[in-house]
Chains A and B, each alone.
Chain A
Amino acid sequence: MSSSSILELRGISKTFASTTALSPLDLDIERGSFVSIVGPSGCGKSTLFNILSGLIQPDNGSISLEDQNVIGATGHVGYMLQKDLLVPWRTVLGNITLGARLKGKVGPEDKEQAMGFAQKYGLGEFLHHYPSALSGGMRQRVALMRTLATNHQLLLLDEPFGALDAQTRFEMQQWLLQVWRDTQRTVLFITHDVDEAVFLSDRVLVMSPRPGRVVDDLRVDLPRPRTLDTLVSPAFTDLKSRVLHQLHRERGA
């Protein structure tokens, strides 16, 4: 599409045994944008992420990330799941630098960066805490810091706040937007929560039931920074109802 695309997918499809998880899919993602993906359960959202991260190979198609063909290779995206997957024997600092450790040694600059992130995003006091001493929201923050600390431009977040209560979730959403703005990363964000998708994103992709394909691609032009007021604005409600209708139609079809 445009030269500002960081990620280009062409004709990506995947079939597991007899289940077609993804039907041929084309997608362009703009550098620095925040894109949410919503769709019914089992439509292939996580499968798409697994293909992007290199965990599984697509049957067909091509992926170009920052002009590199990355099919089947790992180590080029940040990835985060609903489960925080913090390791209990490493402190907050140790968990944030886990990516560096997994690729070799944790150098002083890795530590500095991790401490910088932690300080900046409200974890400064907890650097030497073990995860067992943290609340669910704080654990998700550490998990996101860890994802950021891998220093990949593209972040894949698969329902990262799915397990949090509504109150914490809203705090986390605002916090995530702050982090995203500061670090200028590109975020692909899977969620089941339409409010969340619209509230966070520049773009919302709606997927059809299996075999998954993108049936709607909405621009969200709500002004940033987004606040509580955004949630009750008519523009927000319009967008939300469009996504919901689209989802519902697809489900009913």
Chain B
Amino acid sequence: MTKKKLLLNIFGPILSVVVLLGLWQAIVVWGNVAPYIAPKPWDAIRAVTSNWSTLAPLTWWTIKETIYGYLVGAFLGAFLGVVLNKIPLMQRVLYPLLILTQAIPIIALAPPLVMILGFGVMPKVVIVAWIVFFPVTVSVLDGLNHVDKDLMTLAKVFGANSMRRFVVLEMPAAITQLFSGLKIGATYAVTGAIIGELAASSGSSLALYQRSASGSLDAAGVYGTTLLMTAIGIIWFLLVVGAEYLATPWQRRSTARQWRRGAKPVLTNN
């Protein structure tokens, strides 16, 4: 990556966030919006920082719910994608069922989950996993369905069994698609955790904190927690993007990284 590109990659997003905050500030100030309706951005941020000792443990809970649910959803999703691809019958039987799971409004799913799983971290994990697995399944299935048929034929001619064909060719071939599903899932994961928290919480949670802020007409608190939830979502998304970056070097590099010590650097001509 050139230096210019790097700067653009870093400052581009920062600039857009600054512009957004500026716009927000402008609307609140010029529109004469009352502080109990919408706060100025800085007040929203301060509502988080000045209550950080209360918010930190709640944020940590939400992060845990998000990550656990996400991991469960991602593995389940990838597994289902493979099953659907490998067992054509399953595609007939299971696929409509999977679509059905996504047609159920999550908000309606939450109360029965609480009945079954209680007030702890479990129902949130299930909701997040429920949201995350689907795009992952669809993308993995798509990826596997679009592996070059001729390549698979060639592998057969080379005498590879189906297990090797899967591990060596199909799995890596689907990885680009897999990450597009993982990224979609990453953006939704926090939403799932928050819906779960709204549906049921023991003690406190970010969602409940926000609800009582809303009840107290503390708009700064409401917007502040929203910013906090958004930040969790964005950071998680960026981590997934980072994982993609490391896992698919061929998408943006012309040569492989040389990890071995003493390996000669390889000259590129482009």
Contact partner, A89, options B156, B165, B250, B268, Cβ 8 Å: B250
**With A87-B173, A103-B160: A55-B153 Cβ-Cβ less than 8 Å:** yes
B250: chain A residues within 8 A (beta carbon): 88-89, 130-132
What separation, in Å, do the CA atoms of A99 and B256 have in the docked complex? 20
Interface contact A98-B168, CB-CB below 8 Å: yes
B248: chain A residues within 8 A (beta carbon): 89
Q: Indicate if A129 sits at the interface (CB-CB under 8 A).
A: yes
User: Hey, what's the 0/1 contact readout for A77-98 against B, CB within 8 Å counting as 1?
Assistant: 1010101010111010000001
Interface contact B253-A130, CB-CB below 8 Å: yes
B270: chain A residues within 8 A (beta carbon): 133
Interface contact A55-B156, CB-CB below 8 Å: yes
B161 to chain A, nearest CB (A): 9
A150: chain B residues within 8 A (beta carbon): 158
Nearest A residue to B265 via CB reads A128
What separation, in Å, do the CA atoms of A127 and B267 have in the docked complex? 11
Interface residues on chain A, number (Cβ under 8 Å): 30
Interface residues on B, range: 20 to 34
Nearest A residue to B154 via CB reads A85
Interface contact A102-B150, CB-CB below 8 Å: no
A54: chain B residues within 8 A (beta carbon): 157
**With A89-B250, A128-B258: A103-B158 Cβ-Cβ less than 8 Å:** yes
A79: chain B residues within 8 A (beta carbon): 154, 157-158
Nearest B residue to A101 via CB reads B168
Contact partner, B255, options A53, A55, A81, A133, Cβ 8 Å: A133
What separation, in Å, do the CA atoms of A55 and B256 have in the docked complex? 34
Interface contact A102-B268, CB-CB below 8 Å: no
Q: Indicate if B159 sits at the interface (CB-CB under 8 A).
A: yes
Q: Indicate if B164 sits at the interface (CB-CB under 8 A).
A: yes
What separation, in Å, do the CA atoms of A150 and B153 have in the docked complex? 15
Q: Indicate if B169 sits at the interface (CB-CB under 8 A).
A: yes
B20 to chain A, nearest CB (A): 36
Q: Indicate if B254 sits at the interface (CB-CB under 8 A).
A: yes
Chain B 224-270 interface residues, beta-carbon cutoff 8 Å to A: 248-250, 253-256, 258, 266-268, 270
Q: Indicate if B76 sits at the interface (CB-CB under 8 A).
A: no
Interface contact B157-A77, CB-CB below 8 Å: yes
Nearest A residue to B253 via CB reads A130
Interface contact B157-A74, CB-CB below 8 Å: yes
Contact partner, A130, options B153, B154, B256, Cβ 8 Å: B256
B267: chain A residues within 8 A (beta carbon): 125
A122: chain B residues within 8 A (beta carbon): none
Q: Indicate if A116 sits at the interface (CB-CB under 8 A).
A: no
A-B contact pairs, 8 of them (CB 8 A): A74-B159, A79-B157, A85-B150, A98-B158, A102-B160, A102-B169, A128-B255, A130-B256
